[in-house]
Amino acid sequence: MMLLASDVLGGVTPAAIGVSFGGPVKAEECVVLLSHHVPGWEKVPLHERLEARFGAPAAVDNDANVAALGEWRFGAGQGCRSLLYVTVSTGIGGGWILDGRIYHGADSLAGEIGHGEEVHGGL
């Protein structure tokens, strides 16, 4: 992933990096908890690695949370104070926007409606 990003950037330092990760993320710490699709992505401090590699601030969140924010800001949720976004693809996920902010819940897994128990039990 970082090699591809380096190639695309062509030596230019980005102003910031945003990652929408397809799996549970501990949002406060920007740590990938696990990937349901790629082995070896357990408790990975992805933002630290990106910041060290590219010299720019990085943010990481779950893909459904980021999609929910996009819908709230630019799509069907425009004008709403809050919304629930549900995605069904390689899994079932969701993202909550409450009063214009992503709601992560007490353990950062509020939107993990299809995998929450797996994550809670294993990590």
Q: Give me 117's structure tokens.
A: 């128990």
The tens-digit pLDDT sequence of the chain (123 residues) is 677 888 888 889 999 999 999 889 998 888 999 888 888 999 999 999 999 999 999 999 999 999 999 999 999 999 999 999 999 887 788 999 999 999 999 888 888 877 555 555 544
8 A C-beta contact, residue 111 and residue 68:
yes
Model pLDDT, residue 91: 79
Backbone angles phi, psi at 52, to 5 degrees: -65, -40
Model pLDDT, residue 121: 52
Query: 7, 61, 63, 99: which is the annotated catalytic residue?
Result: 63
Q: Say how many domains are in the chain.
A: 1
Model pLDDT, residue 118: 53
Amino acid identity, residue 88?
A: V
CATH number at residue 106: 3.30.420
Does the active-site annotation cover 63? yes
Question: What is the extent of the structural domain holding 19?
Answer: 2-122
Model pLDDT, residue 43: 94
